[in-house]
Structure 1
Amino acid sequence: MDISVVVPLFNEVESLPELTSWISRVMLENRFTYEIILVDDGSHDGSWDMILKLQQSNPFIRGIKFRRNYGKSAALNVGFAATKGRVVITMDADLQDSPDEIPQLYRRITEDNYDLISGWKAKRYDPITKTIPTKLFNAATRRMSGIKNLHDFNCGLKAYRSAVVKNIEVYGEMHRYIPVIAKWAGFTKIGEQIVEHRARKYGKTKFGMSRFVNGFLDLLSIFFVGKFGKRPMHFFGSFGVLSFFTGLIIAIWMICEKLYSIAHNQHYRDITTQPLFYIALVAIIVGSQMFLTGFVAELVSRSSHDRNHYQVEETI
């Protein structure tokens, strides 16, 4: 099979007939073999009934229904597991992504040998309250992830080589960082394509301003897990040892200074009356706690079932 199109949706009953018809038309015009996987993330507006109705007229449509709303990341993760196509395309169900982009995305994966192509909505039809935070969010993500060539990490329209979606896990609200997750998994050929952004035709957006706060916290999580997930002692231990010995050196210096003053009959202050003593004490305690945290995290990591799970691209 050439293409699997994964569409996560939540209360998008009005847009589904037009979206699936549009996708099917593009596939037939380009003679692609395909499947459309609609993942209903706990909708309560009749979206699942519409999926069942559409499937009767289009056998290439498959549906997955959640009992409740779990979020876009969960919908994508389950959809990825169900795909059979050589190339996987993701898009939102609100008709703001154009299926006409699919042939070019497919070509760049199959002919240009990219692992992942992320869409970039260079011209957006969103209010300024959404576009400015989005730009700041993308700038921070570029800096922390090292993926300098992407302008829009959160664009729903993306194309993947099948091996990518089968070897990554998307959870929580990590769908915003799939390119980052893919990079940490060893898929480094990541490109970008300018895509059309269409004004919303039905319904309203399902995401509020809180996503920017949550998104930043998720970015920190991905950065830490990706870099230190299999060696947490390198993170906690390094800062712990640095903090502990900084406090220890300060304490030793203060003791030596007092002993020197006593030996030379000079005036001296009690160590416990000096603010520096408490700084040294806090540094020693924090350092010890961080080191112990790293030690416990290392034990947990070594007990994990996937402690020796690595991405193998090819064997001969």
Structure 2
Amino acid sequence: MSEPVPPPAPFLSVIVPFFNEAENAEKLVEEVTTVLGDYRGMWELLCVDDGSDDGTAERLERKAATVPERIRVLRLRRNFGQTAALQAGIDASRGELIAMLDGDLQNDPADLPRMVDELLERDLDLLTGWRRNRQDGYFLRLLPSKIANALIRRVTGVRIRDYGCGTKVFRGEVLRRIRLFGEMHRFIPVWIAGVTAPSRIGETPVHHRPRTGGRSKYGLSRAFRVLPDLLAVFFFLRYRARPGHFFGSIGIAFGVIGTAIMAWLLIAKLGFGQDIGDRPLLLFGVLALVFSIQFLTTGVLAELLARTYFESPRAPSYLLAPGSEPPGQHGERPSSGGGSPPGAADA
């Protein structure tokens, strides 16, 4: 009696952003195509060139021409940043599962098949990599990353040890529920936690390799951007749909303080005949009431902006170069199954 044939794996879209990675682009594409050669389902590789000026896009297009049914190249008009490049890839993807890799060859594509299987076995919506043995300089990369990861875990409550790892696998239906902007790619697990249960977000050890070509786009200055980005994430997750609660709470607190001060000064003036005109407490009370009015009116304006945001179409955070395929060009996303994805040849 023959053994049962395993069902086909879900259609997998692999998104890789590139910016001035001419030395690594072709090799990374070759590694991905080799690793996924035995994948049991349909797959595609989306290479997003983020405005490179070193010939990266031309090398990617040459590789795509050799396997047009598998590889698609998106070229952005200028350098919009890694977050926008990833969003462009998400918009153009058709897979039931979506994987991400960095374009510097430090992430190992060989981790992808195992991570896909683990995501399905553990019934997760996101499985992110953990670079347990990082091949980076300690003081310039590793130490700032450890501090940033600890701070993000503390503020957001999402217990991920390595937010900066570029190797991730998602369920497409969940990832497409969020929009990435600014430099928020580091906080993708936090955004995902906003649309699914934190218990459906997992982490697994992955390989990390030293950079052998090109120049790193990360430095110590990136660590200082984490704090303002983290504050923005905290605000959007807690108060995006109700910003009036945030500003209103502060306004009410100042109002209570200002009212109490002014009431006390009124009693001191009328009841005890004290001179309050030159008392610093009077100035503080007046300022507290002014702050209260400002925060309350800001809350009302923020509510109006939030309503406008949720009711209006959202513009993309990137712009494709002429001749590059627009998101959604290929129509319906195909269902799971073996073979090549139809209509994927015109990157």
TM-score by length of 2: 0.83
Whether 1:25 aligns to 2:34 is: yes
Whether 1:151 aligns to 2:156 is: no
Matched letter for residue 41 of structure 1: D
Distance 1:79 1:73, change over 3 A: same
- In percent, how many aligned pairs have the same letter? 36
Secondary structure of the structure 1 residue equivalent to 2:16: strand
Give the alignment of 1:1-316 within 5 angstroms. Answer: 2-59=11-68, 60-129=70-139, 130-148=141-159, 150-186=160-196, 188=198, 189-262=200-273, 268=274, 270-306=275-311
Deviation string 1:268-297 (CA, Å, 9 cap, x unpaired) is 3x2121121122111111111000100111
Looking at structure 1, the residues matched to 309 and 34 of structure 2 have their Cα atoms a distance apart, in angstroms, of: 46
Looking at structure 2, the residues matched to 239 and 298 of structure 1 have their Cα atoms a distance apart, in angstroms, of: 15
Looking at structure 2, the residues matched to 198 and 32 of structure 1 have their Cα atoms a distance apart, in angstroms, of: 28
Matched letter for residue 271 of structure 1: I
Looking at structure 1, the residues matched to 24 and 271 of structure 2 have their Cα atoms a distance apart, in angstroms, of: 81
Secondary structure of the structure 2 residue equivalent to 1:271: coil
- Larger RCO, structures 1/2 (Cα 8 Å, 6+ apart): 2
Unaligned runs of 5+ in 2: 1-9, 315-347
- Conservation of the 8 A alpha-carbon contact between 1:119 and 1:152: yes
Looking at structure 1, the residues matched to 309 and 113 of structure 2 have their Cα atoms a distance apart, in angstroms, of: 41
Deviation string 1:253-281 (CA, Å, 9 cap, x unpaired) is 1220232223xxxxx3x212112112211
Task: Give the paired residue count.
Answer: 301
Looking at structure 2, the residues matched to 104 and 278 of structure 1 have their Cα atoms a distance apart, in angstroms, of: 65
Secondary structure of the structure 1 residue equivalent to 2:23: coil
Secondary structure of the structure 1 residue equivalent to 2:277: helix
| Shift, 1:43, TM fit | 0.4
Matched letter for residue 234 of structure 2: F
Secondary structure of the structure 1 residue equivalent to 2:46: strand
- Conservation of the 8 A alpha-carbon contact between 2:22 and 2:214: no
Matched letter for residue 37 of structure 1: L
Looking at structure 2, the residues matched to 7 and 213 of structure 1 have their Cα atoms a distance apart, in angstroms, of: 25
TM-score by length of 1: 0.91
Matched letter for residue 110 of structure 1: L
Looking at structure 2, the residues matched to 250 and 123 of structure 1 have their Cα atoms a distance apart, in angstroms, of: 58
Matched letter for residue 3 of structure 1: L
Looking at structure 2, the residues matched to 28 and 206 of structure 1 have their Cα atoms a distance apart, in angstroms, of: 30
Looking at structure 2, the residues matched to 118 and 287 of structure 1 have their Cα atoms a distance apart, in angstroms, of: 43
> 2:329: which partner in 1?
none
Looking at structure 1, the residues matched to 43 and 307 of structure 2 have their Cα atoms a distance apart, in angstroms, of: 41
Looking at structure 1, the residues matched to 22 and 174 of structure 2 have their Cα atoms a distance apart, in angstroms, of: 30
Matched letter for residue 234 of structure 1: H
Looking at structure 2, the residues matched to 181 and 68 of structure 1 have their Cα atoms a distance apart, in angstroms, of: 26
Looking at structure 2, the residues matched to 110 and 136 of structure 1 have their Cα atoms a distance apart, in angstroms, of: 31
- Conservation of the 8 A alpha-carbon contact between 2:20 and 2:52: yes
